[in-house]
Structure 1
Amino acid sequence: MKLTFLGTGTSQGIPVIACNCEVCRSVDFHDQRLRTSVLIEYEGTNLLIDTGPDFRQQMLVNRVKRLDAVLYTHEHKDHTAGLDDIRSYNFKQKMDMPLYGRPSVLDQLKRDYAYMFTESKYPGVASVTLHEIENKPFTINQVKVQPIEVMHYQLPVYGYRIGDMAYITDAKTVSNTEREKLKDLDVLVINALQKKSHISHLTLEEAIQFIADINPRRAYITHVGHYMGLHKDVQNELPENVYLAYDGLILHG
């Protein structure tokens, strides 16, 4: 398995527009974060998780030549707003792009991108096929995908386990039932927005405790906000098997 962090920032990205904090002024590339997304390459299949506003830039920077499907975590715009640019893959691969998500997510996509779903589509409009998923395993090109339901305040969000890797973003709480699906992980990716308490995201301390409870071999923190602090400082505060992810980081497993 190969996992590429395409974006590791929160909904505004870093730097934040009009902000003059030390993180937003940092020239360290670790502190420059696009909206959260990952590419998973596994058994010959390329799976993208979320198409945020930076989708086009992420595909160009990482030279992603093929996508087999998109998995959606939830319907917020920082995870869906780049879908229109999927049409480049329609043209290149000569296929509709399969999109996987819970019904509420797919309904939101149909509202936001109504022009993609009309009977008489404008020429060149992106072509997609929608696949409703429930909280049970499914397969894409023989790759088994296990949804992990977490709560983003009161909004259900899907994380995903593929093989010995699990990816969770925008979580605040995770039930004991869902935690059982996270046993025996090599890699856990989990969100942590900042150090101060937040209503809908794990804090750094809460994420570290969650990692300790799950006990993966290694863990990576994503969906990071500018109030977290400088990458180099935060990394020095983390346990030895926990890492602050950054854009462009590649994991092999």
Structure 2
Amino acid sequence: MNFTKKQLNITFLGTGTSQGIPMIANNDPVCLSKDLKDRRLRSSILISWDAVSYTVDCGLDFRQQMLRENVQSLNGVFFTHEHADHIGGLDDLRAFCYQIGEMPIYLNERTLHSLEKRFEYIFSTENRYPGAPSVLPNIVDSSSFYVDELKVTPIKVLHGNLPITAYRFGDFGYLTDVKSVSDEEKLKLQNLDVLVVNALRIEEHPTHFNLQEALDFIAELKPQKAYLTHISHKLGFHEAVSKILPNNVFLAYDGLKISV
């Protein structure tokens, strides 16, 4: 199946870690920063091409992100894993379901089972709440597939010991909450125009790349450009960290828009 290359428009809906920046009850200088680029909602992106739009994850700040970006329609959601900062906005899909009926969601089996437990009122066939959003699950494994004429390749990665899903859309790769990637899966990330990957903080972390690990990963894959996301206040100030990065690596920030 051959399709012409799509121009992808990416909006960083959120670039923060699971607690966001500023954190509740935290007086770290980064949490008190007046620089808007130091204010980070939970990590997610909006990816658009032609006349369609999808998000990767819909976390706890999903409603706020949709309103901020004035998103008027959505064609589906790709889920990376089941943690609350990546699924917590599932109920707010209902506004888009009013438009299209069932909302396609793409996810691995583990994530689907978690959603079925946490959002029983959405998935139940017997006790389904009538006002709940309607979703249409599509299980992803290791095989590439097409959505709206765009090739999507799932990437199996590890979030500590938790298997989660990253995605390659055309020549754009999006990986969040990653701690390790097998050599086999790295082959799926060759020749990228843009790579987005998590960089939680300066110190090592048991389940996320720290800054050095993210930079080493980028240097190994050699994308044309890379953006860092899923950032905590422990990484430091946006302005200061930006000055020490390689020339082709950038800190993403909430609201940043790029084209690939």
User: TM range, normalised to the smaller chain?
Assistant: over 0.9
> 1-side partners of 2:204 and 2:250: how far apart?
20
The alpha-carbon deviation at position 45 of structure 1 amounts to 2.3
Take 2:216 and 2:100, find their aligned partners in 1: how far apart are those partners?
46
Question: Does the Cα contact within 8 Å between 1:38 and 1:48 map onto a contact in 2?
Answer: yes
CA-atom RMSD in angstroms:
0.9
Separation (CA, whole Å) in 1 of partners of 2:74 and 2:57: 12
Q: Does 1:44 align with 2:51?
A: yes
Contact persistence 2:120–2:128 (CA under 8 A): no
Partner of 2:75: 68
Map 1:1-253 → 2, pairs under 5 A = 1-91=8-98, 93-119=99-125, 120-253=127-260
3-state SS, counterpart of residue 81 of structure 2: coil
C-alpha separation between the residues in 1 aligned to 2:100 and 2:163? 33
Report the CA distance between 1:43 and its aligned residue. Answer: 3.3
Q: Structure 2: where are the runs of 5+ without partners?
A: 1-7
Tell whether the 8 Å contact from 2:42 to 2:230 is kept in structure 1 after alignment. Answer: yes
CA-to-partner distance for each residue in 1:79-110, whole Å, 9 max, x for gaps?
Answer: 0011000000011x131101110000011111
* Distance in 2 of aligned mates of 1:141 and 1:5: 21
C-alpha contact (below 8 Å) 2:116/2:123 kept by paired residues: yes
CA offset digits 1:1-24 (Å, max 9, x no partner): 100000000000000000001100
Q: Is the 8 A contact 1:43 1:143 kept in 2?
A: no
Partner Cα separation in structure 1 for residue 130 and residue 113 of structure 2: 23
1-side partners of 2:221 and 2:50: how far apart? Answer: 26
Separation of aligned partners in 1, 2:16 and 2:159: 16
Unaligned runs of 5+ in 1: none
Number of residue pairs matched by the alignment: 252
SS class of match (2:191) = coil
1:178-216: CA deviation from partner (whole Å, max 9, x where unpaired):
111111111000001000010000010111111011001
Contact kept, 8 Å, 1:52 with 1:78, in 2: the verdict is: yes
Deviation at 1:136, TM superposition (A): 1.1
- Partners of 1:142 and 1:37 lie apart in 2 by 22
- List structure 1 segments (4+ residues) > 3 angstroms apart after TM superposition: none
TM-score (norm 1): 0.98
Question: What is the deviation of 1:46?
Answer: 0.9
TM-score, structure 2 length as denominator? 0.95
Counterparts of 1:200 and 1:31 in 2: how far apart (Å)? 23
Q: CA deviation at 1:42?
A: 2.0
CA-CA distance at 1:157 after TM superposition: 1.2
2:79 is aligned with what amino acid? Y
What whole-Å deviation, never above 9, does each CA across 1:225-245 have from its counterpart, x for those lacking one? Answer: 010000000000100100000
Shift of 1:166: 0.3
Q: Distance in 2 between matches of 1:167 and 1:118?
A: 31
For residues 40-90 of structure 1, what are the alpha-carbon distances to aligned partners after superposition, in whole Å with 9 as ceiling and x for unaligned?
002332111001000000000011111111000011111001100000001
2:4 is aligned to none
